Amino acid sequence: MKVLKFGGTSVANSDSLTNVLDIIKQQEGPVAVVVSALGGITDLLTDMLSFAQYGDTSYKKLLLEIESRHLEIIKKFVPIEFQSAIISFLKKNINELESRLDAIQLLNEATPKNNATILSYGEILSSNIIYEALKYNEINATLKDSRELIKTETHNGKVIVDHEFSDKAIRNHFQNNTADVVLLPGFIASNNKGETTILGRGGSDYSAAIIASALGADVLEIWTDVSGMYTADPKIVAQAKPIDKLSYYEAMELCHFGAKVIYPPTLQPLIEKNIPITIKNTFARDEKGTIVDNSPMIENGEIVKGISHIDKVALINLEGSGMIGITGFSKRFFEALSEENINVIMITQASSEYSICIAVKEEEATKAKKVIDQKFSFEITANKVNPAQIEKDMVNVAVVGEKMKDHQGISGRLFSSLGANNINIRAIAQGASERNISIIIDKKNVIKAINTLHESFFEAQIKELNLFVTGVGNVGSKLLEQIEKQTEYLIENLRLKIRVIGISNSRKMILGDDAIDLSQWKSMLEESKTPADMDLFFEHAKKLNLRNSIFVDNTASEIIAYEYARYLNNNIGVVTCNKIAAADELNNYLNLKKISRKFGSPYLFETNVGAGLPIIDTLNNLIASGDQIIKIQAVLSGSLNFVFNHFKKDSSFHDVVLAAQQKGFTEPDPKIDLSGIDVARKILILARESGMNIELSEIENESFLPQECLDTKDNKSFFESLLKHSQHFEKMLEQADRENAKMKYVAQLENGKAKVGIQLIKEGHDFYNLEGSDNIILFYTNRYKEQPLIVKGAGAGADVTASGIFADIIRIGKQ
């Protein structure tokens, strides 16, 4: 025989009930069908009780809603000529319910007996109405009130099922049954006085399990609105997937830690009789669902089966030197909690015996602290033990799997993946069975933690990077274009999934909770009503608390550069082409490096020197491998190289600089390039990355611009000054021609000193044939004394700079 249970949204409305009727029709042989209240009705009844207890008559409006919901089912499934009897039954019960609530409202008090009676109406109404629907759909069915079969007793204020009596009553009833379908309301039972009792949270599942156990059923099918138990909560983890198979104990662990598909009491009667459970989706009947039984584990199955969690948890810690070596201390501790019926979710104790730490429901934390402090009042007064400490806003996360005990490295993977995302574990517990590793973390980290663990244990090792991009001009827009174009390649070949979550320019911003469609970002930003706000942009990234978050700065803004510290402090990496931070005062440069190391927040700025060329990375690799830098010579300004390569007798210096600006080779303010400050910053960064602690002011800058050009306040006056001093630039060109040389703006680092300025480069030098806007850098080291290590290539332009930023982002993904 088979037992079916339908609940929640499976019997929410007429559409879903149609699916239920179809499933019942397809059954072969006699079946028991247990139904819960219509979806949402139990919540309405709970609200009505609360209103009535506080003297609020709002419950009367909710009564109308309950009546309306049930009438909808009647009108859809019962022929109009047969509706009067069931409608009379509905109205009679609605009137009874109202009278009971009126009495509670007058007294401003509800007893456990009243609570049970009120809440039972959901199942009483649904079972009677569904029975009528079965009858008029030509299904040979009978209705049996579960209160006549399932009996309960009360122990220490808790309702306990009398299994011996209930099993006998159930078997007797079904032995005499001739109908194809026996319909029973779930959740409700009665005591030996005939008073209605309820089976608590998940009570309809428990009712079905009691009936299945008593009958020795072949299987218990739980039909719900999801396709089985999932590897994690799909509302938290978009990639969560149904679990094909679980052992009883795996299911029990997941249920205990908050998986709401089934509840722990449901499993116990079935384990004893070895009755399998299948969890299936009423709205997707062909999907496999989850099977729960005790059959042998599949050798090639998943090691970790699921990740679950309990919200609203508090940690309570008792510590003190007076605990060490004292026999019976733990006994007294847990006795105090037991006497007040306080449930302990998790326990951990240091081997030093200096402290005991437990997790309890947040609502019980204050009470737990009070009873613990009372129990140990003498020791607290004598300063042998400190008063119990409470930490709220915690979440208990559990990783569950029967096969974990047979595999090494599960704990290591858990801790390393969380550590890499700067998620602090407040407490840890693992049973000797090793089916479960439980941790306590801050509530603010729960989404990040569960997604991180799911990615580590269940996904095809695809690492997700979440970007918050500021600056979408030439470089920023090219970066977004490159990311969109390479999305599939990165997933297939590098196992990287890059999502852009936030985008900002100087006027507006887009703040998403999920990935922004990069094919639409321009129109979305243009239509955005959210003005640009650095604080709001940061707070959004911080609040989302996504794993592998990266702030990407594509600007040249000094203000934005000073934002990096707070991102790094919150475990959000920084990738930037903005040189200002790395070339700022030495203390600020060192501080950013320190914060990056402390919080494990990547801070990459490869494009600060040489756009997309791997200059900083090459330098770091040389030093990391034990080489020593002797000298660096470089042409590091693609814009200046472009200018001097195109400045000839038939062109003016002004026109060449203007062309460089229009092609995007210079900074928005070209004076930054031509003054040499940009190159000075670049050699400063290389000097610092080489291990030198120097300031920008220590770099010798031999400017070729007249002072009047340097003193201009805006681009217009700057270009006017270039025209005014055109003779000065022509003389520079004439001198280079006389010496058969080319002008190159060269940066040099040697003997602890750095300088930048124009040098006349003669034929045969590595710099002589440097074309266009290319950069070149010569590393002279202990290993490369005679022939330097050379890095050469395009050193300016939006495309190559964007590709360098993109490479840094990918580098983080591959860490």
The catalytic site residues sit at 682
* The two three-digit tokens of residue 578, written as one number: 């903005």
Helix (H, G, I), strand (E, B) or coil at 747: strand
Percentages of the chain per state (helix, strand, coil), in multiples of 5: 45, 20, 30
- Rounded to 5 degrees, φ, ψ at 262 are -130, 165
Q: With contact defined as beta carbons under 8 Å apart, do 400 and 304 qualify?
A: yes
Q: Evaluate whether 573 touches 420 at the Cβ level (below 8 Å).
A: no
Residue 769 CB neighbour total at 10 angstroms: 12
DSSP, collapsed to helix, strand or coil, labels residue 219 as: strand
* Contacts (Cβ under 8 Å, ≥6 apart) of 173: 144, 148, 149, 182
The Cα-based distances of 656 to 208, 613, 673 in angstroms read: 84, 24, 13
CB-based contact 247:297 (threshold 8 Å): yes
Q: Return the HEC string of 619-673.
A: HHHHHHCCCCEEEEEEECCHHHHHHHHHCCCCCCHHHHHHHHHHCCCCCCCCHHH
Is the sign of the CA dihedral 440, 446, 448, 453 positive or negative? positive
> To 10 degrees, the CA torsion angle through 106, 108, 112, 113?
-10
By the 8 A CB rule, do 68 and 74 touch?
no
Which pair of tokens denotes residue 701?
């800058």
In this structure, what token pair is assigned to residue 766?
């590595």
In whole angstroms, give the CA distance from residue 550 to residue 529.
24
How many C-beta atoms lie closer than 10 Å to residue 539's C-beta?
13
Segment 268-271 long-range contacts (CB within 8 Å, at least 24 positions apart): 268/209, 269/163, 269/209, 269/210, 269/212, 269/213, 270/209, 270/212, 270/213, 270/220
Q: Tell me, what DSSP letter sits at residue 405?
A: G
State how beta strands 463-470 and 496-504 pair.
Answer: parallel
φ, ψ at 466 (rounded to 5°): -115, 115
Long-range contact pairs involving 521-530 (C-beta distance under 8 Å, separation at least 24) = 521/472, 521/480, 522/477, 525/472
Strand-pair partners of 761: 742
Token pair for 765? 């030098």
Distance of alpha carbon 743 from alpha carbon 163, whole angstroms: 97
Burial (0-12, 13-18, 19+ Cβ within 10 Å), 723? exposed
DSSP string, 418-451: HHHTT--EEEEEE-TT-SEEEEEEEGGGHHHHHH
Q: Looking at this protein, which amino acid is placed at residue 594?
A: K
Find the angle CA(62)-CA(65)-CA(68) to the nearest 5 degrees: 155
Rounded to whole angstroms, the Cα distance separating 309 from 7 reads 23
Segment (H or E) for 253: helix 248-256
Q: In what order do the strands lie in the sheet with 753-762?
A: 700-702, 753-762, 741-750, 629-635, 774-781, 789-794
Enter the DSSP assignment of 110.
-
